[in-house]
Each structure stands twice: as C-alpha cells, then as structure tokens.
A = this chain, B = another copy of it.
Amino acid sequence: MARKASLSGFPEWLPEERLIEQHVLDVLRRTFELHGFSSIETRAVETVGDLLRKGEIDKEVYAVSRLQAEEASASEAGLALHYDLTVPFARYVVENAGHLAFPFRRYQIQKCWRGERPQEGRAREFTQADIDVVGDGVLPFRYDIELALTVVEALEALPIPDFTLRVNNRKLAEGFYTAIGLQDTAAVLRSIDKLEKIGPEKVGALLQEELGADDDQVRLALELATIRTPDTSFVERVRALGVAHELLDEGLEELRQVIAEATRRAPGRVVADLSIARGLDYYTGTVYETVLDGHEGLGSICSGGRYDALAHKGSRTFPGVGLSIGVTRLVSRILSQGFASVSRAVPTAVLVALADDDAWSRAQDVATALRQRGIATEVAATAEKFGRQIRFADRRGIPFVWFTDADGTHEVKDIRSGEQHSADPASWSPPAEDVRPVITIA
C-alpha cells in the first residue's frame, strides 16, 4: 500500500485497487453460489450483550450511540458494531428459524470492525467473507469436510500464492489433555495457541507456571502440538504417545476423515496440524486456519470451525460449521506485493468523441447502441480538439475513441496501437480482452 490511510486502520482503495477487490469478491460469491450457499446480510450493529457473550474481546468493540443522546430510545442503548459475522449469523438463525430450511447454507460478505492496533493484515474496518452451514438439532459431520473443500476451491480461484489449510480438532485436543491430567483444557489451548509466536520452551514454561503442569505433561502436550502431517499419518503418531480417551478417539477419527478426503480432492492444500487452537470459545470440534505459504507472518487468511452450541432457542440448538475469509487482509497483501494487476483502471472501453458541441446528443445515440451490447461507453462532455479528447481517454486508460463525421460515417481508433478503421455502432465490438478490465496474476 503506497498511500497511507487518512485514518489509521481504515483502508480505502483507489479505483484500480478496488477493481482487484471486486474481482476477489466476485470470485468468492460465484464459488459460494455454485456450492449452493445463499447470500444474507445482517445489520452492522448488535447489542453489546449479544457480542460479549461469545468472546473476550470487549476492548476491541466499537460502541455506537446517537450523537445527541437526549433522544436516545431504550432500544438503541448498548449497541455496538459487529466484530465478526458468526455471532450475528447465530442471532439471525435463531430469530428467523421459522422461515429457514435446515440445514441452512449461507454466505455473508460484509464489513466488520475491531478497535485493534492497526498493522499490515490487521485493519480496524475490514471485509470478511463467511460460509456456514447450520442444522436444526443435528448437523452431519460431513459438512466439516465439505466446507473445507469449498473454501479451498474459492481460495484457489484467487490471485494469491499457494496456501495451506491447517486443520485440528478440539475433541482430540481436549480428550488428550484431559487424559494426561490437564483439566483446564481451554487454558492449555490458549498457551498452545502461542506456539508459533513464542516457541515450545516458553509455552512449556507457561503450562508449568499457570497450570502447574509437570515435566511429563509438558512433554506430552508439546509432542502432540508439534505433530503436523500432510496425510492421515498423524493418527499413528498420536497413538504412539500412548494416551487413551474416548473424546480423543472421536476427534482423531473426525480429523482423519477430513484429511483423508482432502488429500484425495485437494492434494497438497490441507494438513493436519495439532497446534491449531483458535482463540474463540465457541468451537467444539474441527478447527481451521489458513496461511499463505511464505507469508505466514500475515496471520490466518481463512479460519473457522465447528460450533455445536453457539445458537439456541430454548432447548432447540442449531449446531454449525463455517469458515471466514479475511478479504481485506488478502487484498492488502495482493496490492502491497503486486500479486495481481488490472488491464485498465476504468470500466469504460470506448470514449465517443465530439466533432462539435451540437454532436453530443447523436454521440449519446452511439453510446446507447454500444452499451446495449455490453460495451461500457462514455461520451466526451465538450468538443475540444480531437488530440485533447484522445489524451483524455489515454489519461483515464480508455482503449478506444469513437469518431463520427458530419456525414454520419463512424470510425473507431485503438489509441494504444493508433489503428483506426470504420465501424458500425450497431455491430462493432472490441476484442474480448478489452470489453472489461481484466485481472492478471503477476
């Protein structure tokens, strides 16, 4: 990002940068719809109560209130901007359960806000693209596999480097820690989550200091967390640690299924990584994280997991599984590293030039004819010298300029090559690669 945002953490793109973001959003939408996900949007605000029930990130939440508070109504007290799309989606499902067909598949692409300290890959306003499937009472495990494969397909269609989807399972970890006598599994996971950042020694020290773990427990916990395999061989490696627990077995089998199917359908993209913890409390089974290979420092570009108890309405529960792609994080990196380029900065393919000021209305007729065939067209606003009108097109990146003589004959000029030939507004089209701005992987 060459330019600095005028408000730190709130990036804004130039038109040509926005074209790359739009391309990313279009690819995601298309992939999600091809997989049968319906679009929904939720309001930007939730009640503070709803937002904070599910996380420990109160310091990061932006509260919203009327500037002139004397008129504030009770219904508006305690509103805040959502910091993700999972919590709002859970509320939406509960509220609209009577109108939805379950299992309900939805995608949701919206802005989120977190008051974190801005840095590359971490903005205060950012776009997330989520897919989730939610069941009524039960949700077959196979959706855990399907959703991983869907995001892999979506990410493969983007102008980004290779990536690795890392998968773990909370049941596996919780069963293992319980079996070796570390009862506060949430606390263990929080320490293990720091493995990549602070290394095994410091994590071991944390486990000893905070949880009173002995040497054996620390050794086993770290041995588990360092298992990472591109295939199902992690199962034997866990077994070799000699720990047994029913929940561990369940988690191992679930993770085995994900990895077995993924290695078949998306070879090289998915690994079992037993260090993956994910901070959020609501995950109960599979957890996912994704890194761009060679850009691990950027953080996860796509995360999520299975949550069996996030949404409920009385005794009725709505278990779900989902993943969230960090669109702004990805687009920032695409732009800063030049992973992609765009053939021009404007949608316009043709500028209709004016021979004189009275020609404007006839020039609009030409433009209308071209637009009817899907060719984006502008009309010059004033009849400057042709040279100036051509320079105007050139400066905006418009590839073709259209001329109409007083006798009504038409010519079109490719201002890149200088080639000019006669053309009919009712039938002429630019070459396919010039109809729209084209995104190319650099």
List residues of chain A with CB under 8 Å of any chain B CB. Answer: 3, 6-8, 10-15, 18-19, 22, 33-45, 48, 58-68, 71, 75-76, 79-81, 91-92, 95-96, 99-101, 103, 105-106, 111, 113, 115, 125, 140, 142-143, 146, 149, 261, 264-265, 345-348, 360-361, 364, 371, 374-379, 381-382, 395-398
Contact = CB atoms under 8 A, between A and B. Distances in A.
B7 A43 contact: yes
Interface SS majority for chain A: mixed
Contact of A14 (B10, B33, B99): B99
Given A63-B66, A80-B67, A35 B101 contact: no
Contact of A106 (B15, B80, B91, B379): B15
A7 B45 contact: yes
Contact of A39 (B19, B59, B265): B19
A389 to B, nearest CB: 13
Given A38-B347, A99-B14, A378-B35, A75 B45 contact: no
A232 to B, nearest CB: 15
A265 B363 CA distance: 12
A42 B12 contact: yes
Interface pairs A-B: 6 shortest CB-CB: A36-B348, A36-B378, A15-B38, A10-B43, A33-B347, A140-B381
25 contacts: A6-B95, A7-B43, A7-B79, A8-B75, A13-B41, A14-B40, A14-B100, A15-B38, A19-B39, A34-B376, A34-B377, A35-B371, A36-B346, A36-B376, A36-B398, A37-B347, A38-B345, A38-B347, A63-B65, A64-B81, A67-B80, A76-B115, A142-B382, A146-B379, A149-B364
Contacts of A59: 66-68, 71
A382 B140 contact: yes
Contact of A377 (B36, B67, B396): B36
A261 to B, nearest CB: 7
Contacts of A80: 67
Contacts of A14: 40, 96, 99-100
Given A12-B41, A62-B65, 5 more contacts: A35-B378, A38-B345, A38-B347, A44-B44, A63-B66
B360 A142 contact: yes
A64 B40 CA distance: 25
A10 B43 CA distance: 6
A81 B140 CA distance: 41
Contacts of A35: 371, 376-378
A264 to B, nearest CB: 7
B62 A64 contact: yes
Contacts of A22: 39
Contacts of A61: 66-67
B12 A43 contact: yes
Nearest to A351: B36
Contacts of A81: 64
A143 B75 CA distance: 43
A440 B371 CA distance: 23
Contacts of A99: 3, 14
Given A37-B347, A379-B146, A111 B12 contact: no
B43 A347 contact: no
Contact of A265 (B38, B71, B103, B364): B364
